[in-house]
Amino acid sequence: MSSIIASESSRLEGFIEVPGDKSISHRAVMLGAIAVGESKIQHLLEGEDVLATVAALRAMGVEISGPRGGSLEIKGVGLNGLTKPVSALDMGNSGTAMRLLAGLLAGQAFPATLTGDASLRQRPMERIITPLTQMGADLGATGGKPPLVINPVSGLKGISYQLPMASAQVKSSILLAGLYAKGGTQVYESTPTRDHTERMIAGFTGQSWEQGNPICVASGLMLNGQEITVPGDISSAAFFLVAASLCPGSDITLCGVGINPTRAAVLEILNLMGANIKICGQHQESGEPLCDLRVRSQRLKGIDVPRGLVANAIDEFPALAVAAASADGITRIRGAAELRFKESDRINAMVQGLGKLGIKAIEYEDGMDIIGGRFRSGTIDSRGDHRIAMAFAVAGCCNSGSVVVNDCRNIATSFPGFVETGCALGMNLVEKL
């Protein structure tokens, strides 16, 4: 799709499943590929980002069947079974795929090049180049940006590394490289970030997972094939949590959503704003907690977002900004400079976009202030960013008029079927080619 026209929506209602978690899907495919034996993955996200990871591992000799209806089968080749790809590996729009695969490939016996689309080629890679180089890897990137060239080395060594910023991608890249390093690898983080990699490594190696700091991985671990069910992506669920909160009379249930403690800060923030969200049927699958989320409409209030919640809600801030724009009072967000290094500069994109819809928002280096009000009709350039596009589609449904959101093709990277799912709940969304 090239654009979405989002118009005033009445009461939202119904039960839906959101797509599989993107972060977990990437990791399941990567670890399944270097495990011994077959892995079966259910409810895999079939978005373009994850499919880029699947294609890259196929290009390195891994036999993968699917995905078909969210089901994927992988015949693992073991830690040292990957083979040299014949050409550069195209990661499309996925920073997660590039940074995690860089760690996985740092200890291989063959060279590889990771590239991507125009957006990905502008994203910073020094944050992984620095620690991986300390481990003995040979990586090159012009100006610290992709393409990322990885040359073979005689061996990696384990390190102890203090993350200079809260980044699960950097942490995961180091831990994956640590599987190939001599000696143990430890990562220290000042602020806990999403822990899917360490949970999943524990599952593939048959170890018990324990939360702690530092996060450690030993070299030469044996990974065995697993059966994994991927929970629904809370980042995708966030758009409907906000839409149902803002559309009067709404009552929806999102089924099977992952609520990993390092990912659920969006729920805490919305609850602080006064949202009516109930957690139902909490249980665990494949080492991850999940539940059903029932959300009913509720007038929201502006808040100062606690800094301690920012890192673990970083992907949900486009949706949260729309919630803030309809809330009573001012919402202040600080400590979120990482938003400038996503698929777009999300601080600037949200502030500028909200302004076009009549909402006063003030931009800061590490955040924004949003003064709640009423949306007016307008046209938004999503900047090719899937989360910006979906956020303003939600804004259009909470508008007395309509909002045209342009450049929406990249929604397919994380949420193919977003429009159909939203319409099933009662959102007034129309795709235009």
> Is position 315 annotated as part of the catalytic site?
yes
SS3 194: coil
Contact 161, 187 (CB under 8 A): yes
Q: Is the peptide bond before 67 cis (omega within 30 degrees of 0)?
A: yes
Specify burial of residue 316 (Cβ count, 10 A radius: 0-12, 13-18, 19+): buried
**Which residue of the set 49, 233, 315, 381 is catalytic?**
315
In this structure, which amino acid lies at residue 25?
A: S
Contact 43, 258 (CB under 8 A): no
Q: Is the peptide bond before 124 cis (omega within 30 degrees of 0)?
A: no
SS3 8: coil
Chain center to CA of 255: 19
Contact 295, 250 (CB under 8 A): yes
CA-wise closest residue to 90 among 141, 55, 47: 55
d(C-alpha 400, C-alpha 217), whole Å? 53
SS3 191: coil
In the sheet with 3-7, reading across from the earlier edge strand, the strands are: 378-381, 402-406, 3-7, 428-432
User: Helix, strand, coil % (nearest 5) of the chain?
Assistant: 35, 30, 35
In this structure, which amino acid lies at residue 243?
A: A
H helix or E strand, kind and range, residue 162: strand 160-162
Q: What angle do CA 249, 254, 255 make, to 5 degrees?
A: 145
Phi, psi of 240 (to 5 degrees): -80, -30
Query: Which residues belong to the active site?
Result: 315
